[in-house]
Structure 1
Amino acid sequence: MHPLQHPPAVVLMTDFGTGDTYVGQMKGVILTIAPETRIIDLTHAVTPQDITEGAFLLERALPYLPPASIVVAVIDPGVGTSRRAIAVEAGGRRFLAPDNGLLTTILNMHGCGACVEVTNRQYIAPERSRTFHGRDVFSPAAAHLASGIALEALGPALDPAGCMKLAMPGCTALGKGVWEGGVIFADRFGNLVTSIDSSLAAEEDRWRLVLPDGTALPVQETYGNVPEGEPLAYRGSFGTLEVGVRNASAIERFGLSRGERIRLERI
């Protein structure tokens, strides 16, 4: 019998895609150890090796994940190197991830409880691939957490202040009613998600986003405010301003990549 009345959900976020068996192997490991576990696929479509995108998506999804869930986040270009595997308590949940900055926003924005390096061989695979710690380290550790072990059992304590953090994309005030941010990523529809917080574009005023080529897009309420095939700026579901094209792709229209600067102006 499971020691917990309601086993916590295990949430998976990776850059593995679904065209191979990687995600299925991770789920197989988890369910072999903890058969009652509920597994949520947050996404497996993070841009390959893009730790910054993963950190952004993870933090923005956090309010919608079940309380006490166990989050396995694997965007891991340093797999097999000396980078640590860590487990952290923060925001009412537990996180397993490589210590490469993927938990930057979680550590910055939520109080951190226990933090350990995942080394206890009792809770990871006895033989570990150098290229697939998602299966051999993070998945078994998550399954044992779901089965009721304490996070501290996974390995020695770490000071969370010593965990690696990234310089996340931000937003800078350039003057009264003017802010500058940048593109973070493009979603599967080709919408460009920026680092400019939607709250800066107060709804009682009129605003526009100015792209690097000088194109100015008034901030609209929804796609239906512009004709089909026309671009627009809008307050997106991630809580930041986005650039889209109605029934088309903004990334194809404008060709912008992460880090390119975009300006918010009051009209």
Structure 2
Amino acid sequence: MTRWITLLTDFGHQDAYVGVMKGVICRIHPQAQVIDLCHEIPPQDCRTASFQLLQAFPYFPEGTVHLVVVDPGVGTNRRAIALDFGHAYGVGPDNGVFSQVCDRYPPQRVVQLTQARFWRTPHPSATFHGRDIFAPVAAHLSRGVDLEELGSPLDPKALVRLPNLGYERTPHGVQGWIQASDRFGNLITTLPADLLTEGDCYVETRGQQIPVAKTYGDVPPGSLIALVGSHGFIELAVNRGSAQKLLGCENGAPVWLIKQCS
């Protein structure tokens, strides 16, 4: 059996870490098809990892194994897990990186990776579980090993969830949070597009009232705008500029969607 494996990490491209993980996968399953999703996740940024995984998840063939290594707790007692979503799998740390995928596609089975015979070594490095645990497990899954062989069952409800990945209604407006920024400096919020059906609105953050429109070009160059991105969330942008630099918002910063007074 051959399944696709995707790789999502914060390793960057300066070091050999990503290549080493691919080498481990190839030794176990030479026929595996490996795709790099992204290796430029900001270091230890589980929120951005969760967002990026959600964006990629629905576009891959059935049976794909999604390997995520953004792991600030590597070597600690945080759990190593594998998840069965019915049509796809996940492998990585239980630190919230699967939060949004689990919310959108509830896993059918989850195991803690306790079976060392599926690791590269029974004595993994305290700093590189991507090489010694996660990559080998993903390779075994991709060649057809059943999830239950990999470890002990976990209740999906017991998995770590990241905070502030949804929205809530407040007297001031619908509050959401920044969940990621992209290469262009666009700030992606947790506010879904369907909130805009409730009437004319603007987005407020850092004391700025940002108008809502459909395209970047609807405002002059250098101007702020709120619009729906291809991911289905409201994002804050600057036409031919960077909202991140202009606003100085960090991941997790609050935003509000406020209805215009008529």
Q: Tell me the TM-score normalised to structure 1 length.
A: 0.90
Q: Does 1:130 align with 2:123?
A: no
Structure 1 residues 97, 201: closer, same or farther in 2, change over 3 A?
A: same
> Residue 205 of structure 1: CA displacement?
4.1
Partner SS for 2:132: helix
**Partners of 2:234 and 2:165 in 1: how far apart?**
13
Aligned residue in 2 for 1:159: 155
Q: How does 1:43-58 map to 2 (within 5 A)?
A: 43-58=38-53
Single out whichever of 142-151 and 47-56 deviates more from structure 2: 47-56
**Partners of 2:157 and 2:176 in 1: how far apart?**
27
**Paired residue type of 1:242:** E
* Post-superposition CA distance 1:188-243 (Å, at most 9, x none): 111111111111012x8432112222x22211111121222222111112211111
1:208 pairs, out of 198, 202, 206, with 202
**Partners of 1:43 and 1:153 in 2: how far apart?**
29
Contact 2:99 2:160 in 1 (8 A): yes
**Paired residue type of 2:147:** L
Single out whichever of 239-248 and 153-162 deviates more from structure 2: 153-162
Aligned residue in 2 for 1:20: 15
Contact 1:212 1:260 in 2 (8 A): no
Runs (5+) with no aligned partner, structure 2: none
**Partners of 2:177 and 2:226 in 1: how far apart?**
14
Q: Does 1:105 align with 2:100?
A: yes
> Residue 115 of structure 1: CA displacement?
1.6
**Partners of 2:157 and 2:179 in 1: how far apart?**
25
Identity of aligned residues (%): 39
Aligned residue in 1 for 2:249: 256
* Post-superposition CA distance 1:31-64 (Å, at most 9, x none): 1211111111111122211112222222232212
Aligned residue in 2 for 1:265: 258
* Post-superposition CA distance 1:75-98 (Å, at most 9, x none): 111111111211110152111111
Contact 2:5 2:32 in 1 (8 A): yes
**Root-mean-square deviation over aligned CA pairs:** 1.8
**Partners of 2:191 and 2:109 in 1: how far apart?**
32
**Paired residue type of 1:173:** R
Partner SS for 1:148: coil
**Partners of 2:87 and 2:190 in 1: how far apart?**
25
Q: Does 1:69 align with 2:64?
A: yes
> Residue 106 of structure 1: CA displacement?
2.8
> Residue 175 of structure 1: CA displacement?
5.1
**Paired residue type of 2:246:** R
Contact 1:52 1:168 in 2 (8 A): no
**Partners of 1:205 and 1:160 in 2: how far apart?**
37
**Partners of 2:165 and 2:193 in 1: how far apart?**
15
**Paired residue type of 2:137:** A
Q: Does 1:85 align with 2:80?
A: yes
Aligned residue in 2 for 1:173: 169
Q: Does 1:142 align with 2:138?
A: yes
Partner SS for 1:28: helix
Runs (5+) with no aligned partner, structure 1: none
**Paired residue type of 1:166:** L
**Paired residue type of 1:164:** V
Partner SS for 2:72: coil
